[in-house]
Amino acid sequence: MDIDNKDFYPTPDNVIKKMLENIDISLYNSILEPSAGKGNIIKALINKGYKGNIDFIEPVEEFCSIVKNIKICDERVKSHYNQYNYETKSKYPKYAGSNFLSFDTFKRYSLIIMNPPFSNGDKHLLKAIDLIQNGGRVICLLNSETLNNPYSNTRKDLLNQLQKYNAEITDLGQAFRYADRKTDVNVSMIDISIPYKEEKTYIFEGLKKEQEDYENIFTSNNTDIVISEPIQNLVEHYKSEILAGKRLFIEYGAIHKYLNTDEDENTGNRLYLSVSNFNEYIEMTRYKYWKKLLNQSSFTENMTGGMLKDFQTNLNNTRYIEFNYENIYQVAINSIKNAEKTIKQELVELFDKITYQSSYNKEDNTKIHLYNGWKTNKAYKVDKKFILRVFYRSNYFMDSLEHKGHEISRLIYDIEKAFAWLDYNIKKGVHFNYIYGTIEDSIKQGNLRNIETNYFYVTLYKKGTVHFTAKDEKILKRFNLLASQEKNWLPPSYAKKTYQNLSAEEKEVIDSYEGEKSYTEVVNNPKEYLFQPQLALT
């Protein structure tokens, strides 16, 4: 994989040593490595004694996995369970994105250290300078030809920036000539130190004005932006909250030395912020808004339960990813990449739920078609009519239809959504609130038979069972075929051979499962009957 990536040239140890030799690691509290590769530079920073925060950007997923597992240090942090206790946790570099050139963040870095692609290092260095323009340091390796032959506007702009900030340029010659990944390119090391700007303070009037602007966004009557574009509204709210917080930190930094005296320290009467620095505030705010995203139906409506669970499991890591349109889109794309596996898994789990109750609960007398499967005689499939139990009726008052409407509705909703996936039409799936309202009305009116949904006729029984009758047998067949193939109950050659070309053992399974006529229909129209998750995602 390394060889296939034409821009991947791991930084040699002797070059990294040169990059770090004039760095006092104690001066930096937040570092960005925007071309991380396998983390050679990050490892060197840690070996030099750095224990602060490191963010990294890397487009290759395999490299990201390597860098995420580079241990920075162990640190004592407040316990999530008891604010008065501490626990020891390992600290690792945080993934911040996959594309540095489109990377956008409010976060401030005190050091950016990088070995960008030689093919467009000028753009990467300009981007780094822009990110650190409020103060900090950039150390960057660059193809020397970029500086020696400024034929493009980008290169000319870069030279102007280097001159503006009195950058130190060191010729390293053919530094990669004997590296693991060799190249004869002449390399220069650029060292730029940009002084921190002294922020002007407008005391509390400026903060008050920004807070008013922020509140106006929330109460705006501009329906084109606030109401019809909920995700855009979230992003704008996030930006406003960050800017208001930034102003607060500027004000705090400007006035706390006048308000917090030695006398205050002795009496404990001090003004302080509950978060230690602006970057920590950004991370907390990011987390809050990524969490808010889960409440946006336009973002979650096409996700399966498994996809939502996966997003929630990884929610804590979103504090390191900027909350903007590009990253929201990327999160959605990543969910879709994993969706094919997730959809199949959830459909098979539903199949198991139906067939488990039907196989082991004889009282319900559910219709389940048994057949002799491939290498097993315990295979089965779901019939057009099947039954699921919500509760067992007893003498307890709560065990009644009137008090189980929500559970019944959730059951019907889950099955409806599954069949919408199978139908390649997730947008056709009924919303839960609609199903809940329909079930509640039917129970109150005593109309318990043949309640129609998109894919079923549903009948409720007071003993606690829900009877389903599938309206579309083709979708039902697709459901059964998916589960049977995933469980290896059908021959591996299923639908790949004509019935006449099947072996005697294969024919025996097919005859038991569906018969020659039904099998031939699948062979002639495999896309019609064999579930294709990629179609469900379009």
Kindly give the confidence (pLDDT) of every residue in the chain, 538 residues in length, as a single tens digit, with 9 standing for 90 and above. Answer: 444 567 788 999 999 999 999 999 989 989 999 999 999 999 999 999 999 999 999 999 899 999 999 999 988 766 655 555 677 888 999 999 989 999 988 888 999 999 999 889 999 999 999 999 889 999 999 999 999 999 999 999 999 999 999 999 999 999 898 887 888 899 999 999 998 876 655 444 544 454 454 444 444 443 332 333 677 888 888 888 888 888 888 877 777 666 655 554 555 556 667 777 888 889 899 989 888 887 777 676 666 666 677 777 777 777 888 888 878 777 766 665 666 667 788 888 888 888 875 544 444 444 455 777 888 777 888 889 988 888 765 544 445 777 788 888 888 888 888 888 888 886 665 677 888 888 888 888 888 999 998 899 999 988 888 999 999 999 999 999 999 998 999 999 999 999 999 999 999 999 999 999 999 999 999 888 888 876 766 6
* Angle, alpha carbons 131-117-95 (nearest 5°): 55
Give the pLDDT confidence score for residue 479 in this predicted structure.
Answer: 92
**8 A C-beta contact, residue 495 and residue 520:** no
The type of residue at 90 is: S
Beta-carbon neighbour count of residue 261 at 10 Å?
Answer: 12
In the chain, the N- to C-terminal Cα span, in Å, equals 30
- For 9, the enclosing helix (H) or strand (E) is none
What is the structure's pLDDT at 4? 56
What's the rounded Cα separation, in Å, for the pair 184 and 174? Answer: 5
CA–CA distance, 141 with 170 (Å, rounded to integer): 10
Tokens representing residue 452 in the block: 């129609």
How is residue 517 written in tokens?
A: 């006529």
- Rounded Cα distance, 259 and 281, in Å: 22
pLDDT of amino acid 298: 66
Extents of the domains making up the chain: 13-194, 208-323, 346-536
Query: Could you tell me which residues are beta bridge partners of residue 78?
Result: 86
State the pTM of this model. 0.57
Which residue from 353, 343, 425 is spatially nearest to 382, judged by alpha carbons? 353
Quote the CA–CA distance of 531 and 341 in Å, as a whole number: 12
436: tokens are 């809940």
Q: Can you name the CATH fold of 13-194?
A: Rossmann fold (3.40.50)
Long-range contacts of 205-214 (CB under 8 A, 24+ apart): 206/247, 206/251, 207/244, 207/247, 207/248, 207/251, 210/240, 210/243, 210/244, 210/247, 211/244, 213/240, 214/240, 214/241, 214/243, 214/244
Residues 279, 285, 287: CA angle, nearest 5 degrees: 105
Calpha distance 399→395 (Å, rounded):
8
The pLDDT, as a whole number, for residue 3 is 45
The strand ranges marked E within 284-345 are none
Separation between Cα atoms, residue 459 and residue 102, nearest integer Å: 54
Dihedral, 147, 148, 151, 153 alpha carbons, nearest 10: 20
Q: Helices H, strands E: what count in the chain?
A: 20, 15
The pLDDT, as a whole number, for residue 271 is 66
- C-alpha–C-alpha distance, residues 121 and 187, integer Å: 11
Cα–Cα dist 330/111, whole Å: 26
Q: 274 near 325, Cβ under 8 Å?
A: no
Q: DSSP characters for 367-405?
A: -EEEEEETTEEEEEEE-SEEEEES----SSTTSSGGG-H
What is the dihedral angle through the alpha carbons of 219, 220, 226, 228, rounded to the nearest 10 degrees?
A: 110
State the DSSP string of 125-164.
HHHHHHHTTTSEEEEEEEEHHHHH---SHHHHHHHHHHHH
CA distance linking residue 102 with residue 84, whole number of Å: 41
Cα distances (angstroms) measured from residue 17 to each of 41, 53, 55: 9, 20, 20
